[in-house]
Amino acid sequence: MIPEPPPTPPHAPPALELVQLAKRFGQKIAVDGLSLTVPQGSMFGLVGPNGAGKTTTLSMATGLLRPDHGAAVVLGHDVWRDPAAAKARMGVLPDGVHLFDRLTGAELLRYNGLLRSMPEADVTARAADLLAALDLAGTAGTAVADYSAGMRKKIALACALIHAPRLLLLDEPFEAVDPVSGEAIRAILRDFVASGGTVVLSSHVMELVESLCDRVAVVADGRLVATGSLDEVRAGSTLQHRFVELVGRQAGEPEGLPWLRTSSR
């Protein structure tokens, strides 16, 4: 990877721009006119409570779920009008999606590389690099079905990286990943951003977002509640504290469930 960040052109298009995205499932409005701009070269954290619409938003931004309204633009290419151009520029780690898990780790990587019309030699070389970097080389010949949850996360991440995208959209990339692999992934992502790439990741762990991201967006009930640089959003407090404040729900009251206390029995 390139060690020096290339200067961003003054009028560079944002890495990701969401314009008034909306999606309704039956009676439930999952995403309600959400607009968001992610500048190039940023490490962007997307946080929100369960059911806030993070995964729905990311699905619409990546071409998996057709929005009822609005647009998603990747580096100047509309995801829904010009999907081929937009998809070639982004790498996606979806959450809650099956893998082709009867393939081995190495076969799965090769499969994703070839699906993206990459030359075979590049696929082979990069697959070996990725397997080594994510500590999966020893299990490259094992069916993905037999991987643990954390290993699946890592092989899926490798699939998202193999074509060297310029924008990474990662839904819960650190979930179930062990601390050592988590640090390896962080290093890869920091290096990627330093070289001019852009990362958008969703997470529930505020400490992680705080330590990794330079920009943050808070989503609740399908709407954007706050966005900006990390310092702007946390406004002198911790992100955890701000988040609870913004989302408007108090952390579980200790008085909540008296019957659950062992001493009351």
Partner 1 sequence: MAAHLLALRFRLLVGSLRQSPWAIVALVVTVLGAISLLGSTLAGAVAVRALLPELGPAAAVVGGAVLVLALTAVTVLIGTSDPLAAERFSLLPLRVRALRRGLLVASVLDPWVVVGVLGTTIGMVVWSTSGLALATAVAVLPIAVATAVLVPRAIADLLARQLASKGARDAMAIVLVVAVLGLTVGVQLLASGVRAITDVARVLETAAGVLAWTPIGAAFDLPRAIAAGAWPEAAAKLAIALATVGLAWWGWGRLLGERLTHPIVLRGGGRVREGRLLDRLLPATPAGAIAARSIRYRRRDVRHLMNVIAALLVPAVVGGMQLVGIVDVDVDGTRLPLDGLALLPVLMAFVAAAIVQIDLAYDSSAFAWHLLTGVRGADDRAGRLLGIAVVYVPTLLLTAVLATWASGRWDLLPASVGCGLGTFLLLAGVMLWLGVLLPGEAPAPGSNPLGRGSSGGIQSLAGIALSLPMLGTVGAPCIGLAIAAIWIPWLGWLSLAVGLAVAALSAWFGIRVGGAALDRRGPEVLAHVSKAA
Residues in contact with partner 1 by the rule CB under 8 A: 62-66, 83-84, 87-88, 92, 94, 96-104, 106-107, 110-112, 114-117, 119-120, 123, 141-146, 159
Q: What's the min distance (Å) between Cβ of 186 and partner 1?
A: 23
Contact assessment for residue 43 and residue 37, using Cβ atoms and an 8 Å cutoff: no
CB of 105 to partner 1, least distance (A): 11
Beta carbon nearer to partner 1, 140 or 194: 140
Residue 141 has a CB neighbour count (10 Å cut-off) of: 10
Ramachandran class of 34: left when φ > 0, alpha when ψ lies in -120 to 50, beta otherwise:
beta
Beta carbon of residue 221, minimum distance to partner 1 (angstroms, whole number): 22
CB-CB contact of 258 with 89 (8 Å) = no
* Residue number with CB closer to partner 1 (38 or 90): 90
244 CB-side CA count, 13 A:
9
Q: Closest distance between partner 1 and the C-beta of residue 247, in Å?
A: 28
Nearer to partner 1, 160 or 233 (CB): 160
Task: Give the strand order in the sheet containing 16-25.
Answer: 28-38, 16-25, 69-74, 77-78
Task: Between 102 and 190, name the residue whose CB sits nearer to partner 1.
Answer: 102
Residue whose entry in the numeric block shows the structure tokens 């010949």 = 141
